[in-house]
Amino acid sequence: QRPIITLEEHFLSRVALAQSGEHNAVFKAIPGLWDQFTELGPRRLADMDAGGVTMQVISHGPGDLAPAACRDCNDQLAAAVRANPGRFAGFAELPMEQPQEAAKELRRTCSGEMDGVAFVGALVDSHTEAGLYYDGPEFDVLWAEATRLDVPIYIHPTWPSEQLYAASASPHLPANVMTTILAFGFGWHSDVALHVLRMYAAGVFDRFPTLKIVIGHMGEMIPYMLQRIQRASSRWGRERSFREVWDNNLWLTTSGNWALDPLACILRNTKHDRIMYSVDYPFAKSRDGLAWLEELEQSGMVSEEELEGIRWKNAAKLLRLDVN
Ligand code: GRE
Ligand code: ZN
């Protein structure tokens, strides 16, 4: 069987479970999701088997954790990786409200200090609950550590902050509809895209020219807007064009966006070795992902070699994972 690696795959930690988690009600309302989300064992492995997934790179779901809670979360994940070394790998959870602490936790988790387990990078929310983004100089300490360790940071959407919600919510729509529009219906994706543009414009990629950033959901709409971004950003005074940074510093995954249309765009304007398959477990189904992969294979849009790249090789190279 040909390998598959997925890398936007979430769990909810025991520390997060013990906290109130205002959005947990959303998760609990989805049948079967809660049990999959909070587990790191047989249920997850069975779903991976059903979707042909060889290895899941597991990360925490949306929501801030303080430094001690992050350490507990990462220790829990490390134990699961230790128990299933061929099937699970880890992305660290980082306390992003405290950039120094985030850098420290990245070092602890990715340099093999956790009893033989080394995580392959980190997945962070696109902003903290208080609405802090990472384009400021206080995060240089984290980018420095990520480049020193040569591990990618995955920027993942999260629930709108109070300010963002207040600025965008319509008085004509009920809160649950508005939340969906501002979350996985659209807003999450534009939020990550805007964040990447902010980081670029603020010179993060000038200061850290080898920084590796991963974004999900078929590139969070950036590929579709690439030409306009390229034109606008030529006035931002950066050392390299956005296009060069896109080609050299960013990777994208397919997570839970099961259409070939965005991929057609991506294949035209993005380097093919940047495209990595992912499911977004438990919010998307591995079986739907597998059906999408089969549709892709039958479409003739990619060569056999490119398909292998998307299925696992591109991720294996970026994350230095051995799945054979
Ligand atoms: C995600 O991680 O992408 C996600 C959630 C919650 C709901 C939908 C979704 O965290 O796609
Ligand atoms: Zn996700």
ipTM of the complex: 0.94
Work out the average pLDDT over 16-38. Answer: 87
Structure confidence at residue 22 as a pLDDT band (50, 70, 90): confident
Alpha carbons 232 and 234: distance in angstroms, whole number: 6
Q: Report helix, strand or coil for 27.
A: helix
Index of the ligand 1 atom closest to the CA of residue 158: 10
Lining residues, ligand 1, CB within 6 Å: 10, 61-62, 184, 256, 280, 283
Pairing of strands 55-60, 213-215: unpaired
The pLDDT of residue 73 is 98
pLDDT at 324 over 80: no
Residue 184 CA to ligand 1 center (angstroms) comes to 6
C-alpha 8 to ligand 2 mean position (Å)? 5
Q: Over the stretch 67-114, which tens digit does the pLDDT of each residue have?
A: 999 999 999 999 999 999 999 999 999 999 999 999 999 999 999 899
Please state whether beta strands 5-11 and 55-60 pair in parallel, antiparallel, or not at all (unpaired).
parallel
Mutate to test the pocket of ligand 1, among 7, 192, 218, 283 (most ligand atoms within 8 A of CB): 283
Residue 59 CA, ligand 2 centroid: distance in Å: 9
Q: Are strands 213-215 and 250-253 parallel, antiparallel or unpaired?
A: parallel
Per-residue pLDDT, averaged over 193-216, amounts to: 98
Q: How far does the centroid of ligand 2 lie from the alpha carbon of residue 237, in Å?
A: 33
Pocket test residue of 181, 184, 214 for ligand 1, highest count of atoms within 8 A of CB: 184
Sequence letter at residue 123? L
Report pLDDT for 21. Answer: 75
When the pLDDT of each residue in the chain is averaged and rounded to a whole number, the result is 96
pLDDT category, 26, cuts 50, 70, 90? confident
CB 153 within 8 A of CB 124: yes
- State the average pLDDT over residues 207-227: 98
pLDDT value at position 152? 99
pLDDT band at 28 (very low <50, low <70, confident <90, very high): confident
**Contact call for residues 154 and 7 (beta carbons, < 8 A):** yes
Spatial distance between the Cα atoms of 83 and 81, rounded to a whole number of angstroms: 5
| pTM given for the model | 0.97
- The stretch 272-293 carries a mean pLDDT of 96
pLDDT for residue 138: 98
| Ligand 1 pocket: which of 280, 281, 285 to mutate (most atoms within 8 A of CB) | 280
**Closest C-alpha residue for ligand 1 atom 7:** 283
From the CA of 284, give the closest atom in ligand 1. Answer: 11
| Mean pLDDT score, 178-204 | 96
The answer to whether residue 24 scores a pLDDT higher than 90 is: no
